[in-house]
Amino acid sequence: MSIETIMRTSAVIPVLVIDDAATARPLAEALVAGGLKVLEVTLRTPAALDAIREMKKVPGAIVGAGTVVNTDQFAQVMDAGGEFIVSPGLTDRLGQVIVESGVPFLPGIANAGDIMRGYDLGLRHFKFFPAETSGGLKALKALAAPFYEAKFCPTGGITPATALDWLGFDPVLCVGGSWVTPKGASMAEVEALAREAAGMRG
């Protein structure tokens, strides 16, 4: 599965911070039931790798890892069965290793230099991060003009109120967001939020 196929699967990719791996499978079931099949588990907690393993058990779920910042983490995610990699930025070393592996990769970029580094590696799909504090949609439109082949998944500060504006810009294939899994929400509430988010592309 290519990174473009993954990005086009759901209008919103939930960015998940999971503290307890026991909650991972029910969470994945609720998100998939709501129509969000692509799940990004961030490597920000000790439970993240086990959460990936649990979520992989859910039929229809496409489970990857976010906040991957070095090659050791990449290897750990592969051992856990991760299907794609998202990083907050892009280094030549990490980029080369992932590109050579053939694993779908969505590196973070915030400026023209980042995108050019990605182009040198043969990449054309990027996470615009942190989206709102890097100048928002206006900045992405300016960046996308010279890099007309590039496709983006803006992440960082995006809300249900702003997601449609981002998704209305042609080079944006999806957005990343944490609002679909608010703290303390029931699985029924998560499923309802996921259904709402999945319908954003129309």
The set of catalytic residues is 40, 127
Instruction: Give 35's contacts (C-beta < 8 A, 6+ positions apart).
Output: 10, 194, 195, 197, 198, 199
User: What residue type is assigned to position 166 of the chain?
Assistant: W
Local structure of 107: helix, strand or coil: strand
**Cα atoms in the 13 Å half-sphere on the side-chain side of 120:** 12
Residue carrying structure tokens 């959460």: 51
Instruction: Please count the helices (runs of H) and the strands (runs of E) in the chain.
Output: 9, 8
